Structure 1
Amino acid sequence: MIRTLRDTDLEQASAVCMRAFLQAVAPSLSTRGVETFSAIAAPAAFAARGQQDNLQQVFDVGGVIKGVAELKQRRHVAMLFVDPDGQREGIGEALLAALVQQARTEVLTVSASLSSVAFYARHGFRTDGAVAESAGLVYQPMTRALIANAG
Structure 2
Amino acid sequence: MTVRALVAADLEQASRVCMAAFMGAVADSLTPLGIQTFSRIASVEGFRTRMAQDNLMLACEQEGRIVGIAELKEGRHVAMLFVDPAVQQRGVGKALMAAMIEQARVEVLTVSASLSSVPAYERYGFVCTADPAESSGLRYQPMEMRLTAPV
TM range (shorter): over 0.9
RMSD between superposed Cα atoms in Å? 1.1
Q: Which runs of 5+ in 2 are unaligned?
A: none
- 2: CA distance between counterparts of 1:86 and 1:50? 25
> What SS does structure 1 have at the residue aligned with 2:66?
strand
> What SS does structure 2 have at the residue aligned with 1:119?
helix
- 2: CA distance between counterparts of 1:118 and 1:93? 13
Determine the structure 2 residue equivalent to 1:11.
Answer: 12
Please state how far the C-alpha of 1:62 moved relative to its aligned partner.
2.2
- Which residues of 2 match residues 42-53 of structure 1 at below 5 A? 42-53=43-54
**Matched residue type, 2:92:** I
Determine the structure 2 residue equivalent to 1:110.
Answer: 111
Determine the structure 2 residue equivalent to 1:101.
Answer: 102
- 2: CA distance between counterparts of 1:38 and 1:75? 23
> What SS does structure 1 have at the residue aligned with 2:105?
coil
- 2: CA distance between counterparts of 1:89 and 1:26? 23
- 1: CA distance between counterparts of 2:83 and 2:125? 19
- Which residues of 2 match residues 2-41 of structure 1 at below 5 A? 2-41=3-42
Please state how far the C-alpha of 1:129 moved relative to its aligned partner.
0.4
**Matched residue type, 2:128:** T
**Matched residue type, 1:112:** A
Q: Which runs of 5+ in 1 are unaligned?
A: none
Determine the structure 2 residue equivalent to 1:79.
Answer: 80
- 2: CA distance between counterparts of 1:126 and 1:92? 17
> What SS does structure 2 have at the residue aligned with 1:27?
helix
Q: Deviations over 1:46-85 (max 9, x none)?
A: 0110110000000011220000000000000000000001
Please state how far the C-alpha of 1:147 moved relative to its aligned partner.
1.9
**Matched residue type, 1:72:** K
Aligned length: 149
**Matched residue type, 1:20:** A
Determine the structure 2 residue equivalent to 1:135.
Answer: 136
Please state how far the C-alpha of 1:123 moved relative to its aligned partner.
1.2
- 2: CA distance between counterparts of 1:48 and 1:39? 11
> What SS does structure 1 have at the residue aligned with 2:95?
helix
> What SS does structure 1 have at the residue aligned with 2:75?
coil
Determine the structure 1 residue equivalent to 2:69.
Answer: 68
Q: Deviations over 1:77-129 (max 9, x none)?
A: 00000000110111011101110111000110000001110011111101010
> What SS does structure 1 have at the residue aligned with 2:134?
strand
